[in-house]
Structure 1
Amino acid sequence: MLITVKRDILVGLPLGDLIAYMEDFSTTEEWDPGTVRCVRVGEGPVREGAEWRNTSRFRGRTSDLLYRLDIREPGRLVFVGENKTVTATDDMTFTARSPTTTLLAYTASFRFKGLARLAAPFLRSEFERLGDEVAAQLPSAAGRRQG
């Protein structure tokens, strides 16, 4: 079963600055309320194939996912995280609205595996709540980092 949550988030940063902030997936610690810790695996420039170990808390439990940057195109980033119970995809599309403002179209999808699939229909409302929290936190977190 797939759960998908979409949010359009207006961020007071120029397009290039917001993309640079978001492509370092370790910043999820700052803008994703579910992320407890996110650390880059390896070194060097961020490019397709770069990986991060992400520890998230959801419904009182922590889980670890290994995320990789799957797509890095002008105006689009796609990260895919996996563990034994879920594949999570964060698809981000960026559009300049002004020289100092960017619209982020953010889609988070969760495909559950094994027995976890049985719980998926009951989790949609919690993922929607998390989507609202991301939309509320991300603009100020990105602005603090750039400030």
Structure 2
Amino acid sequence: MHVSRTFTVSTPIIEVFDYLSDFENTNEWDPGTIETRRSAGDGGLGTTYSNRSQFMGREVELAYETIGYRRPEFFSARGANKTATATDSMTFSETGKGTQIEYRADFEFRGIARFLAPLVVGRKLEALADETVGQIRATLEGRRTS
């Protein structure tokens, strides 16, 4: 199961990549994140993060690892716990007026959750993806004015 969005921000590509590839910044741009902390690494490939998020009224913890890092074009991080794996991938390209972001979040569920998720989670993930895009835009544009 996945959600994806493509959108443009007026922020230069290097600033966008550096900000979004520092996964601790999910504290600011991901509406579901309660807290993300870097646990090891320098921010590049193999960097790990601990993440606490809230989704559908439940708090979950995921251990994330940076699995794709090609500055300034691509970033990907995979988070896992005993019931799910979430992979966030972002591709960045310059436009005449800023940066286009292709955002994709893939979810794999294990156990009973893999049967229930398609029935329960789909629409909520779509709404969360829209909210995430709005928050990314607001955060990046707010950084340019401060």
What TM-score do you get using the length of structure 2 for normalisation?
0.93
Gaps of 5+ in 1: none
Percent identity, please: 35
> Would you say 1:60 and 2:57 are equivalent positions?
yes
Alignment partner, residue 128 of structure 2? 130
* Aligned counterpart in structure 2 of residue 90 of structure 1, from 88, 91, 113: 88
Task: State the alpha-carbon separation in 1 of the partners of residues 30 and 7 from structure 2.
Answer: 13
Which residue of the partner structure matches residue 118 of structure 2? 121
The one-letter amino acid of 1:15's match is I
C-alpha distance in 2 between matches for 1:9 and 1:51: 27
How does 1:9-88 map onto structure 2 within 5 Å? 9-42=7-40, 45-74=42-71, 75-88=73-86
Question: 1:12-63: per-residue Cα shift (whole Å, max 9, x none)?
Answer: 21000100001100111111111111111135x3110001111010111100
Distance across 2 between alignment mates of 1:49 and 1:91: 15
Q: Find the residue that maps to 1:129 and give its secondary structure.
A: helix
- Unaligned runs of 5+ residues in structure 2 are none
- The number of aligned residues is 143
Q: What is the TM-score normalised by the length of structure 1? A: 0.92
CA RMSD of aligned residues (A): 1.2
